[in-house]
Structure 1
Amino acid sequence: MSRVVNVRATPDSIKTMCTKHAFRISALEELVSGGARVVLLDPRDADAFRVLMKDRLIEGSVTRSASHMARQWTPPARWK
């Protein structure tokens, strides 16, 4: 199962919930289309998070900030 969850919630409320339930966050970003994208370290935590946030889940595609691409590592041409 995926560790990524898109929800209609603020990053602060997500952090609070994850702290309360001892879920470990790998990445958290606010979405341009509204809501937030959270990546949890453990897929079981992601499943439990989905159950807790079932009324706020965002189904389908979302619009992410262009800055998320800047954080991704691109291997040098000689490695390809």
Structure 2
Amino acid sequence: MSRATNLALPEEEVRRLCLAQGVSISAIEPLQSGGTRLVCTSSAGAEEMRLRLRGHLIEGDVVRYRFYRPSANEN
């Protein structure tokens, strides 16, 4: 199972929801097409977030930034 999920939610909300569920984030980035790409550190965490956020899942292809790098103050 993939650890990556594309969500139709803002990044800060995704971070907050992961923290509330105790799911650790491996990578997170805004999507150029709108929403957030979340990569959890475990497939179990990814599945937990998919179940909890099933109404916000983006199905199909998304447009990502080509060379996205988080700013130095992001964790």
What is the TM-score with the length of structure 1 in the denominator?
Answer: 0.83
Distance (whole Å) between structure 2 residues aligned to residue 56 and residue 22 of structure 1: 19
Instruction: Give the aligned residue type for 1:2.
Output: S
Identity %: 33
Q: Which runs of 4+ in 1 moved over 4 A?
A: none
Unaligned runs of 5+ in 1: 71-80
Where 1:47 maps in the other structure, the secondary structure is: helix
Superposed CA RMSD = 1.0
Distance (whole Å) between structure 2 residues aligned to residue 54 and residue 19 of structure 1: 17
Instruction: Give the aligned residue type for 1:50.
Output: R
Larger radius of gyration: 1
Unaligned runs of 5+ in 2: 70-75
Q: Which residue matches 1:20? A: 20
Q: Which residue matches 2:41? A: 41
Q: How many residues align?
A: 69
Distance (whole Å) between structure 2 residues aligned to residue 3 and residue 66 of structure 1: 20
Q: Which residue matches 1:65? A: 65
Q: Tell me by how many angstroms 1:9 deviates.
A: 0.3
Where 1:37 maps in the other structure, the secondary structure is: strand
